[in-house]
Amino acid sequence: MAVSSGGIVAGSGRSTPLWHRRAGGAKLVRGRTGRRMETGSSMASGGKIIGEYAKGKVDKLMTADAADSSRSQRIRHFLENMDAAILEANCEVIGRELPNLNRDSFLRMAVRVAELRADYIRAGLKMSESRHPDSAAVSDLARLRAAYEEMLAVYEAAERVIERGYAKLG
C-alpha cells in the first residue's frame, strides 16, 4: 500500500484518506481492515510503522526493517548461535570451576539452607517475646536473615546450573 504525501491510499483504485489529525497531535489511521485506529505520537513524528495499533493495547508494531523476513531470520539465527555459545561457555566454565558439584554437595547445600532458615525464624520468634527488643537482638536477626538469604541464593543458582545442564552429574 503506497501513501501519497496527502495521506491518501495510492494504488488502491480509490481515494480513501488513510489518516486525519486529531487534537493533541494524535492521528486516526485507517488500518488494513478499514477500521479507524488512533495512534500516538510515533506516527506524528514521521517514522513509518507497519502493523496494527488498537487504543490501549499495542499489537504487532514494528519498523519496516524488523518486518523484513530475511532480517528477522538473521536476527533469530544470531540469537540461536549466541544461545549455543553461551551454553557451551557455561558448561566449560562450570565444569572446570565446580568439579565437586554433585548429589552430595547439592544436598549439603539444601540442608544448610534449611538450618539457616530455622535459625532465622527461631531468632524472630525469640525476639517477638519482647515488644521493644534490644539493638543486639535486632542486629543478630539481620545477620541471620542475610546468611539465610545468601545461602538460598547460592542454592537457587546451583539449581539453575543443574537444570540447564551446565554441570555433569554422575
Span 77-124, pLDDT tens digits? 999 999 999 999 999 999 899 988 888 999 999 999 999 999 999 999
Give a yes or no: residue 80 inside a domain: no
Span 20-47, pLDDT tens digits? 444 444 444 445 455 554 444 444 445 5
Give a yes or no: residue 91 inside a domain: no
Span 143-158, pLDDT tens digits? 999 999 999 999 999 9
Number of domains in the chain: 2
Which pTM does this prediction carry?
A: 0.55
Statement to judge: residues 59 and 12 lie in one domain = yes
- CB burial of 20-43 (b: ≥16 within 10 Å; e: otherwise) equals eeeeeeebebbeeeeeeeebeeeb
Q: How many other C-beta atoms can be found within 10 angstroms of the C-beta atom of residue 83?
A: 10
- Domain range for 20 is 2-67
Statement to judge: residues 58 and 19 lie in one domain = yes
- Look up cell 495510492; give the residue: 10
Instruction: Please report which helix (H) or strand (E) contains residue 72, including its range.
Output: helix 69-97
| Cα 152-154-155 angle, rounded to 5 deg | 65
Span 60-73, pLDDT tens digits? 666 776 667 788 88
